[in-house]
Amino acid sequence: MSRPTLARRAFTLIELLVVIAIIAILIGLLLPAVQKVRESAARAKCENNLKQVGLAMHMYHDSHGYFPPAFTPGQNWGWSTYLLPYVEQAPLYALLNPEATTSSLTLTPTPPANGYLATTVTGTALPVYLCPSDPAPGPSNPYFSGYAKSNYLVSEQVSDGGSKINILTVTDGTSNTIMAGERDMKNQVGGAWPGRDTATGSAGTSVASVIARPNFPLNTPYAGPPNPPTTAADPSCTRYTWSSMHAGSGVNFVFVDGSVHFLSARLATDPAQQNCNHPIHVPTAPTSPTAYPFILLYLGNDGYPVDGSQF
C-alpha cells in the first residue's frame, strides 16, 4: 500500500507582501524611537561637554583670578586653548606653549623632537569641544582656515580679546548670565578651538571663530557663501549666532555658575540690534525693560537680572 504524498506549501505572493508590509511598518515605528534615543544621547553628551567647559573655566579662574581671554592679541591663542590643562589635555597645552612670548597660533607649527601630533596640532579635533549632534564631517573647520573645529563659542562678557574678567564683575548673578554656548557647522560656521583666525581679515571678521553674540535669534542661519565668513559676504554678521542641530529648536548653554541650560530659539532678542555691533541693553524696550531676555542673559552687569522663568 503506497503512503500518501504530502504536498509542500510555499508562501503565496499575497502572503509575502503582507509579511513585507508588516516588517516595513515595524521598522517605521522603531526608527523614530531609535533616532530619538540617539539624539537624546548626543544632547546629553553635548550638555556634559559644556559642563566640563564650565568647570574648566572656573579652575582657570581659580588659578589666575580671572577667566581666560577669548584670544590673545598678537598671538591669537583662544580661550579653549587656555583651558586645555583643565580638560585633560595638558600634553597638548605644553606642546603649544601659548604662554611663551614667541608662541603664536599657526596651522602647522614646527614638529617637536618626539613627533607628538606632528604638524597637525592645531588641526586636531578634541571630543570635549565637539557636539555629537552636529553632522559636519571631518576634524577641521573650512570657514576658519582649516583649524580644528569647535562647537562651543564663548560670550564676550566673560572672555574678550586680551581680557582678564573676574567673576565678581558679573553683578547680575552667575546663575542667569551666559558663559558659552553652541554653534553648529551645518547651518552656521561653527568655531575653532585653537583661537582667532586672522586669515579672514580684521578682528571684526575673524573673532567669530572664538566668540558669539545674541544679536540674532538662536539658530539664525549663516547668510554668507560657504567660506570664508568675511564682512563683505556677511555684512550683518549672522556668523556670530549661537546655534545647534538639536531637536526642539534650541541651544545648549553653560552659565557663569557652571549650570547648563537648553534655551529655546523663541527667546526674544532685539530686532533693532541685528547687526555687527556689540549688543546693548535697551531700557526703553517695548512693554518693559526686560522685553529682550536673550540680550539680558548675555549682559552680566547691566542691572537687569533675568528671572529663571523667562528662559
**pTM score, two decimals?**
0.84
Query: Can you give the pLDDT at residue 115?
Result: 39
Low-confidence ranges of the chain (pLDDT < 70): 1-11, 30-37, 39, 107-120, 201-204
Contacts of 15 (CB under 8 A, 6+ apart): none
Residue 262: its pLDDT value, please? 95
Q: What is the per-residue pLDDT for 240?
A: 96
pLDDT reported for residue 112: 40
**Any idea what the Cα angle at residue 210 is, between residues 206 and 216, rounded to 5°?**
85
For residue 76, what are the contacts with CB-CB under 8 A and spacing of at least 6? 104, 105, 195, 196, 197, 198
What are the φ and ψ backbone dihedral angles of 196, each rounded to 5 degrees?
-80, 125
Query: Helix, strand, or coil here: 26?
Result: helix
HSE, CB side, 13 Å, CA atoms: give it for residue 258.
Answer: 8
Q: Write out 233-246 in H/E/C secondary structure.
A: CCCCCHHHCCCCCC
pLDDT in tens, 273-291: 999 999 999 888 888 888 8
For 14-61, write each residue's pLDDT tens digit. 877 778 888 888 777 766 655 555 767 888 999 999 999 999 999 999
Q: What is the pLDDT of residue 30?
A: 66
**Domain ranges for the chain:** 17-310
Grid cell digits, residue 62 = 581659580
pLDDT at residue 109, rounded to an integer: 41
